[in-house]
Amino acid sequence: MPVYDPAQHRQDCARALAPFCQHPELPFPAVLTGADVEHAFAEEGVRFGTSRTAVYTPPLTLWGWLSQGAHKEKACLAAALRVGVLLLVLCRPPGDSNSGTYCRARAKVPHALLRRLACQVGRRLERQVPDAWLWRGRHVHLVDGFVVSLPDTPENQGRYPQPPSQEPGLGHPLLRLVLVVSLLTACVQGLAYGPYAGKEAGETALFRGLLAEMAAGDVVVLDRYYGSYFMVAQARERGLDQVVRLHQKAGL
């Protein structure tokens, strides 16, 4: 029976990500390496494509996903064709160029891995910005929340139910997200998400979970929804300064 070879997996990470990482004029050269991705795969338990005949290993699948973000043509079929070209460059059989095969492999990549890598890239970019870009020598972050609808599947309805104001069967599951974005690079520094409604599901609750990921001395810019003494006190406890509009009910 074919077995999974960790050494081959490490080689696959370095070779598959080379088109993104090995030249200073290409995407991600100083903020994402094969070793970073290998470590993230191990930490998140990502393991598929283990047979010797498998085409879509985790590194190749991630490469295809990155290519969708970096190229003008973002369709899954185009990504699958680019993976086939990359395999030829790596002196490997081109495999199946069917977009369905690629999409099934992509579905095996957990969201936690993508969050980890996206935030890692954003934070490394933030550390590399010139001091002259900083506002009075300080990093500034923008915070906001939003809601997205999800496919109406039993799994999504169970974990991210639709709003109680909607009749059963008439709405879609809703996911609430809160992003921390750099003012300088526009890259994500932190991401939290949860159900639309329920205990500890509001924007402020999700943002509290991101406070520890920011450094003391940073400045956080928020809208008036976050304008409460409790939120200001928690931010100050972490050494953060806030710029926030006065809450609309503050004068009542």
Residue type, 232: V
- Domain identity same for 161 and 70: no
- Domain identity same for 33 and 90: yes
How far is 247 from 228, CA to CA, in rounded Å? 7
How far is 218 from 211, CA to CA, in rounded Å? 11
Residue 252 is assigned to a structural domain of this protein: no
pLDDT at 116 > cutoff 80: yes
The pTM score is 0.79
In whole numbers, what is the pLDDT of the chain averaged over residues? 84
CB atoms within 10 A of CB 215: 14
pLDDT at 24 > cutoff 70: no
Q: Residue 19 is part of which domain span?
A: 6-111
Amino acid 139: pLDDT: 96
Q: Are strands 140-149 and 174-182 parallel, antiparallel or unpaired?
A: antiparallel
- Band (pLDDT 50/70/90 cuts) for residue 250 is low
Residue 124 is assigned to a structural domain of this protein: no
- Domain identity same for 133 and 236: yes
Helix (H) or strand (E) holding 106: helix 99-106
Residue 150 is assigned to a structural domain of this protein: yes
Residue 170 is assigned to a structural domain of this protein: yes
User: How many domains, the chain?
Assistant: 2
Amino acid 6: pLDDT: 45
Residue 11 is assigned to a structural domain of this protein: yes
